[in-house]
Amino acid sequence: MKRVKDKIFGVIGLGRFGHHVAKTLAQGGAEVIACDSDEEKVRQIADLVSMAFVLDATDEKALKESGIVNADTVVVSIGENIEASILIVVQLKELGVKEVIAKAANPMHGKILERLGVDRVIYPERDMAIRLAHSLLIGEFIEEIPIGEKYSIFEIKAFEFMQGKSLKELDLRKRFEISVLAIKRGEAMLVNPSGDERILPGDILVVLGTTAKLSELSK
């Protein structure tokens, strides 16, 4: 299996989302091929990535010449132009790109992309809205990783009422159906902590549960 830094990533569409994806991948040490039909957007990313091209990604010949079809993963960040997004995805799949990730403008667009065999469909605005709502519902919310439709892994700051108590005393699994997977304590990470582990001020809990139960816990 290739390490991330050994992989080649392609990013098609350099709006705000695509620009940040390409920039972050490049900053992580990955080789990135970025392209857009807008010359100014390409100019803004050119010094940050391995290669940048001004091209019409709906043109199969242009895709081949850019080398983006040789990437391990290609992110199609053209959500607004649904027709172009679909055409690009079809061509990438036909040209044998191993993994295609595409941004969807709406649920219908997403369903079409899934049927075309896209490996992962993302909804940036929807996901950010959900994260914002969750952060408002859960006062000590830090991070969330969705797992399935209902459950997520959350990072939360330890609530004041938890401090000084052991996990056994708190009994979060029984009371709130929340499992504590780990405790971040400064630079240390306590994985699968025992029931005797006491929560200290400043601890960050990595927990598995639902938003509804975490919201209930925060109250």
Domain positions in the chain are 4-122, 127-218
Structure tokens at 40: 């100014």
Q: What was the pLDDT predicted at 152? A: 84
Q: What was the pLDDT predicted at 149? A: 67
Count other Cβ atoms within 10 Å, centred on residue 38. Answer: 12
Q: Which of these, 41, 112, 118, lies nearest to 82 by C-alpha position?
A: 112
Tell me how far apart the alpha carbons of residues 206 and 79 are, in angstroms, rounded to a whole number: 33
* pTM score, whole prediction: 0.67
SS3 6: helix
Residue position matching structure tokens 């582990």:
197
Q: What was the pLDDT predicted at 135? A: 66
Domain 4-122 in CATH 3.40.50.720? The answer is yes
Q: Which of these, 33, 27, 32, 18, lies nearest to 76 by C-alpha position?
A: 18
pLDDT tens, the chain, 219 aa long? 455 557 899 999 999 999 999 999 998 889 999 999 999 999 999 999 999 999 999 999 999 999 999 999 999 998 678 999 999 999 999 999 999 999 998 889 999 999 999 999 988 877 777 777 766 666 666 777 777 667 888 888 898 899 999 999 999 999 999 999 999 998 899 999 999 999 999 999 999 988 888 878 876
Architecture of domain 127-218: 2-Layer Sandwich (3.30)
